[in-house]
Structure 1
Amino acid sequence: MDKKNIMLVDGMALLFRGFFATSFTGNYMFNSKGTPTNGIFGFMRYFLNAVETFGPTHVICCWDMGSKTFRNDKYEFYKANRSAPPEELIPQFDLIKETVESFGVPNIGVEGYEADDCMGTLAKLYGKNDHVLILTGDQDILQLVDDNIKVAIMKKGQGNYAVYHKENFEEEKGITPLQIVDMKGLMGDPSDNYPGVKGIGEKTALKLIKQYGNVDGILNHMNDLSNGIRKKIEENLDALHLSRELAQIFCEVPLNCDLDEARWKVDINNVSQKFEELEFKNLLTQVDKIV
């Protein structure tokens, strides 16, 4: 039996990327009703290119559902440094989901969890029997790379991807995908606003992980560390454990997604109707290539 090729799309990553790629000059797209559409337009360009490039048999789009998750219960300052989304982007959150639905693609999101957790849960589930590709711009997702799970990181410019699988990841990064979690535990993550071990950066974290395997290995060899490194870890032990917990993608989200409903089978009439509403008629030629 042929294996399915399932593409999991990081919805927020594509939407924000599409929005800022077209709005950094201050030029926003609006349809004739005055609704901003540049984020949706950018999303669709990335999305359609990825479908054409990777040829999935099934597609699912995952979303964050609000700003608070179980990680905020663990650490109240998690992502507290994030500013509110631009005013022009807010109306596009619901519209992009409607647009994705017009392709017959399920939108998945669960309150209290991030899109990363939903993608991790689905990737582990579907990766048991089929091939999974995660489309994102977020390097944190690389911890999910596994035997049947690839990650395509969108690079600058449309159609440019760095595709990681288990073999080339270890060759390029020098660590295993799961060791990313331990790296982040040591380094912290300013973009997600969790601390790590104060004074330990990427270079030192990588050296320690390569030498001792993971955080537990480091803690079991504290007497072998230099006085400076040992002192930093001892003084930030709680932050180290917390940061490692926050960095790890949770792969047991209570969600349901019938894979049959995710089969890539586009009704061009539904898409045409939605694109007409958004005034994206010139994008229909791109749709025609992949239906």
Structure 2
Amino acid sequence: MKNQTLLLIDGFNLLSRGYFATSYGKELEQLTKSSKGVYTNALRIFFQKTFNLISQYEVTHLAVVWDVKKNETTRRLKHDFYKATRSDLPEALIQQFEVCKDALRSIGIQQVSVPSYEADDVIGTLAKTWCSNEYGHCYIYSNDKDLYQLLSKNISQLIGGKKGDIVYSFNHFQDDYHITSEQWIDVKALLGDKSDNIPGCPGIGEKSALPLIQLYGSLENIFEQIDTLDPKFNRYKKKLIEGQNLALISKELSAIICDIHELNEFLFDDLQVNIERTNLIAELNELEFTIKY
């Protein structure tokens, strides 16, 4: 099973980006939908992008990975403020999420989710396991920068953009940030994340977070050496001391779990790309749009 290519799609990242890109500035009644009233604006983008990726990267193994409900995750159960500020999703997006799952099941594209774990954790566990077995390269399709912490010589991230996708490799990351991918967790711990309601260390921003980790290597090392902190960081010393507990909690929340017990016996053979063409045509006809595949 050597020299194979695994593609892990962050399902909701792709679906929601497709939805908001095509719904911006539009009323609900202006969104495309089938004659049966099924909204399709996000679905069209989702399926076209999926098949483009399969072809472009000669994908042999594929999984669409989904989140569980935010209130059911291990992080939320331990820290009730985590993602608490996120608003409810539009009904048209929720509808397309359900339709998408049914269509993927019909056409033979495997989907993976694990109760109480987020999509990032499932992606992290599968990607690391795939590469530890030396099966080949793994591509992660997502615009979520949290996933930078997974980058390695055999794990790259595909980031969608207006001018096309960017293949963001481990080497690109090191050239941009001059730290290891694992140290990205420490940078995120200092910065926090407004979208996930992760506090970070108040008063520490982009100008100081990365240089601190570049110099000290980790959050823990910063606090161990706080009394002899480099003079160029003196203006942040008080903020670091006051924000230590929040920063450590933020590191815990930012770290992707890469050893989900429920996936210990996962069979990658089940992810081999084997599209049911007849069902694909039927699904596209039902949704009343066409894609190139």
Pick the TM interval, shorter chain: over 0.9
CA RMSD of aligned residues (A): 1.5
- The 2-side partners of 1:81 and 1:262 are apart by 35
- 1:165 to 2:169 alignment: yes
Partner residue of 2:237?
Answer: 230
1:133 match: secondary structure: strand
2:160 maps to amino acid: M
Which of 274, 278, 282 does residue 287 from structure 2 map onto? 278
- 1:16 to 2:16 alignment: yes
- The 2-side partners of 1:13 and 1:176 are apart by 25
1:127 match: secondary structure: helix
- The 2-side partners of 1:34 and 1:45 are apart by 21
Partner residue of 1:151?
Answer: 157
2:95 maps to amino acid: P
Partner residue of 1:3?
Answer: 3
1:206 maps to amino acid: L
- 1:198 to 2:202 alignment: yes
Partner residue of 1:134?
Answer: 140
Instruction: For 1:16-55, list aligned pairs within 5 A.
Output: 16-26=16-26, 27-55=30-58
Partner residue of 1:112?
Answer: 116
- 1:124 to 2:128 alignment: yes
- The 2-side partners of 1:261 and 1:182 are apart by 35
- 1:215 to 2:215 alignment: no
Runs of 4+ deviating beyond 4 Å = none
Contact 1:104 1:262 in 2 (8 A): no
Deviations 1:16-74 (A, max 9, x none): 01111111131311111111121111211221222222111111110001122111123
- 1:98 to 2:107 alignment: no
State the shift of 1:270 in Å. Answer: 1.1
More helix by proportion, 1 or 2?
A: 2
- The 2-side partners of 1:74 and 1:2 are apart by 40
- The 1:125/1:2 distance shift into structure 2, 3 A limit, reads closer
1:115 maps to amino acid: A
1:124 maps to amino acid: K
- The 1-side partners of 2:199 and 2:25 are apart by 33
Which of 168, 180, 184 does residue 180 from structure 1 map onto? 184
Deviations 1:214-234 (A, max 9, x none): 112211211232443221111
Partner residue of 1:61?
Answer: 64
Which of 264, 271, 290 does residue 262 from structure 1 map onto? 271
**What's the TM-score once normalised by structure 2's chain length?**
0.92
- The 2-side partners of 1:277 and 1:152 are apart by 30
- The 1-side partners of 2:118 and 2:210 are apart by 26
**What's the TM-score once normalised by structure 1's chain length?**
0.92
- The 1-side partners of 2:168 and 2:267 are apart by 26
**Identical residues among aligned pairs (%):** 38
1:278 maps to amino acid: L
- The 1-side partners of 2:18 and 2:279 are apart by 22
- The 2-side partners of 1:11 and 1:246 are apart by 21
